[in-house]
């Protein structure tokens, strides 16, 4: 599970966090774009990380190569997607992303945008989400810069929890 808490609000306007529930996205794609759904379930996409989420691999380079959508052992649709980590893979490996993969991701994000729910969080609000079954983002934030070098912007605390056996 993921936990996002606002510890300082945006200085100019409220910022919304977007949430897409994977089972709702799959339901939409099943009827509106069945070929895209098939690709998302079968086409592996590489992602690059430095192992920041795994104590045993802290700082090590990790490359994950799996489909964006998959079914868990219980049959629940889940997601493994981080656009920045995908771009980072191609940058680190000095490779060009295949057009078909980029188009699949573009179409996937367009479909997700259609059903995204926006949640505006205020100071001390806490958003708890199942990180395996939701896609999440946030609107852009503003920053105030002062002549003394200090700044004011939105701050959030983010943490994750998982069961010892890897199951929620």
pLDDT digits (tens, 9 = 90+) for 139-163: 888 889 999 999 999 888 888 887 6
The predicted-structure confidence for 64-111, as pLDDT tens digits, reads as follows: 899 999 999 999 999 999 999 999 999 999 999 999 999 999 999 999
Map out the domains of the chain as residue ranges: 2-160
Residue 34 has pLDDT above 80, yes or no: yes
* Nearest in space to 17 (alpha carbons), one of 165, 116, 155: 116
**Global confidence as pTM:** 0.80
Judged by phi (left if over 0) then psi (alpha if -120 to 50, else beta), residue 59 lies in: left
CATH number among 3.30.70.1560, 1.50.40.10, 3.60.130.10, 3.40.50.150, domain 2-160: 3.60.130.10
Q: Across the chain, which distance is largest between two alpha carbons, in Å?
A: 56
pLDDT, residue 60, reads: 75
């Amino acid at each position: 599970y993921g936990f996002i808490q606002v510890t300082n609000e945006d200085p100019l306007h409220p910022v919304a966090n977007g949430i897409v529930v994977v089972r709702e996205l799959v339901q939409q794609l099943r009827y509106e774009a069945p070929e895209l759904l098939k690709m998302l379930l079968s086409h592996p996409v590489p992602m690059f990380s430095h192992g920041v989420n795994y104590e045993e691999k802290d700082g090590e380079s990790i490359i994950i190569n799996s489909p964006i959508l998959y079914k868990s052992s219980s049959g629940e649709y889940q997601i493994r997607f981080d656009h920045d980590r995908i771009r980072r893979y191609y940058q680190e490996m000095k490779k060009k992303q295949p057009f078909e993969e980029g188009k699949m991701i573009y179409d996937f994000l367009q479909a997700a945008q259609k059903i995204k729910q926006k949640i505006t969080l205020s100071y001390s609000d806490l958003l708890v989400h199942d990180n395996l079954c939701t896609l999440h983002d946030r609107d852009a934030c503003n920053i105030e810069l002062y002549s003394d070098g200090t700044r004011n912007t939105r701050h959030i605390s983010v943490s994750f929890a998982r069961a010892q056996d890897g199951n929620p």
